[in-house]
Amino acid sequence: MINVLEVHNIEKRYKNISVLKNLNMTIKKGAIYGLIGKNGSGKTTLIRIITGLQNPTSGFYSLYNVPYNDSNILDKRNRIGAIVETPSMYGNMSAKDNLIVQFKNIGIPSLNKIDYLLKIVGLQNVGSKKVKYFSLGMKQRLGIAIALSSNPDFLILDEPINGLDPEGIIEIRELILNLNKKGITILISSHYLDELSKIATYYGFLDNGRIISEISADELNQKMRKKIIVKVNNLKEAVKYFEIKSISYEVNDNSQISIYGSVNISEIVLDLSKRKCIIEEIHENNETLENYYINLIGSDRRD
């Protein structure tokens, strides 16, 4: 599979402060890549480097296999559309007029595509309404339309749902999914982990200037799947019972077992007791993306 972006040992320093430290990441074509990290972890700095707004202090990255310092990198950067921090737009103009200005700025002579862009972001019926009277969600959708003006196949969104109400969040979510279905690879930086878990196909966890883990959504869902954890006094008998009953399980240590799937726990307790196997503790675990992230950065710092 083609890698849209590869980052190798990137470091970014401001005087004596290192914001990014030997950072590595990969974004595959067609992915919705969720970039997760707390404030100050380096997310926006990384995005500014990828989009060419800043250069790394050391290390390198490539777009579509072209290094950032290659003479052909501008052709590859033209395949990027981005909203970095607050989208730039003219409040006294309509959505259509904002797009006309954008088209002229990037040298697109034909304005035929503007109505199409307004339609795909759900702004086709706003008419001559000035942008300063738009809701925050409408402004975000216009920002995405502006980012799509150059017909990119790699879209970078920095906190696209920040401050939106629930309706606005749903609208942006559906827009992102639809754009991805059209073949656009998307990088999203967001604090809204529950929302990100609904759309991301891949995750990168950024902490203290480093990507400490990259994982696919499928792998993460497997780690986070609902389970019942039991502590038993006779592990051998418990394992034998689960094998006979074809119950999905995983041995955690010498006395704890994770049970997966829909099970009748009362029946399990009774059956095991007949085998001289007593369940001493039992609890349900339904991990979220937020819990996974917190545990991940916690364990990383303990190391």
Domain residue limits at 47: 3-218
Contacts 24+ apart (CB under 8 A), 120-125: 120/145, 120/148, 120/175, 120/178, 120/179, 121/145, 121/148, 121/175, 122/171, 122/175, 123/95
**Res. 303 pLDDT band, cuts 50 70 90:** very low
DSSP 8-state symbol, 25: E
Strand 66-67 with 227-232, pairing? unpaired
Interatomic CA distance for residues 252 and 218, integer angstroms: 21
**Res. 2 pLDDT band, cuts 50 70 90:** confident
Tell me which of 15 and 222 has the higher pLDDT.
15
**pLDDT above 70 coverage of the chain, percent:** 97
pLDDT at 1 over 80: no
Task: Examine the domain organization and report whether 186 and 85 are in the same domain.
Answer: yes
Task: Examine the domain organization and report whether 233 and 199 are in the same domain.
Answer: no
For residue 83, the model assigns a pLDDT of 87
Interatomic CA distance for residues 200 and 177, integer angstroms: 9
CA nearest 191: which of 47, 41, 39?
39
Domain boundary among 175, 196, 218: 218
- Average pLDDT for 215-243: 88
pLDDT at 302 over 70: no
**Res. 246 pLDDT band, cuts 50 70 90:** very high
pLDDT in tens, 94-119: 999 999 999 988 888 888 899 999 99
Using only C-alpha atoms, what is the Rg of the chain?
Answer: 24
Q: Within 10 Å of residue 141's Cβ, how many Cβ atoms?
A: 25
Strand 185-189 with 154-158, pairing? parallel
Task: Examine the domain organization and report whether 159 and 244 are in the same domain.
Answer: no
Task: Examine the domain organization and report whether 237 and 127 are in the same domain.
Answer: no
pLDDT at 158 over 80: yes
For residue 299, the model assigns a pLDDT of 53
Task: Examine the domain organization and report whether 117 and 250 are in the same domain.
Answer: no
Task: Examine the domain organization and report whether 58 and 200 are in the same domain.
Answer: yes
CA distance to 13, 242, 265, per residue, from 258 (Å)? 45, 11, 12
The answer to whether position 295 is within a domain reads no
What pTM does this model have? 0.80
Task: Examine the domain organization and report whether 118 and 212 are in the same domain.
Answer: yes
The answer to whether position 109 is within a domain reads yes
Domain boundary among 186, 218, 250: 218
- Average pLDDT for 219-229: 81
Q: What is the CATH number of the domain that holds 139?
A: 3.40.50.300
The answer to whether position 157 is within a domain reads yes
The answer to whether position 111 is within a domain reads yes
What stretch of H or E contains 144? helix 136-147
The answer to whether position 234 is within a domain reads yes
**Res. 237 pLDDT band, cuts 50 70 90:** very high
pLDDT at 192 over 90: no
Q: What is the CATH number of the domain that holds 274?
A: 3.30.70
Q: What's the length of the chain?
A: 303
From first CA to last CA, the distance across the chain in angstroms is 33
Task: Examine the domain organization and report whether 19 and 51 are in the same domain.
Answer: yes
pLDDT at 33 over 60: yes
For residue 284, the model assigns a pLDDT of 81
- Look at the chain and report how many structural domains it folds into: 2
**Res. 262 pLDDT band, cuts 50 70 90:** confident
Task: Examine the domain organization and report whether 34 and 124 are in the same domain.
Answer: yes
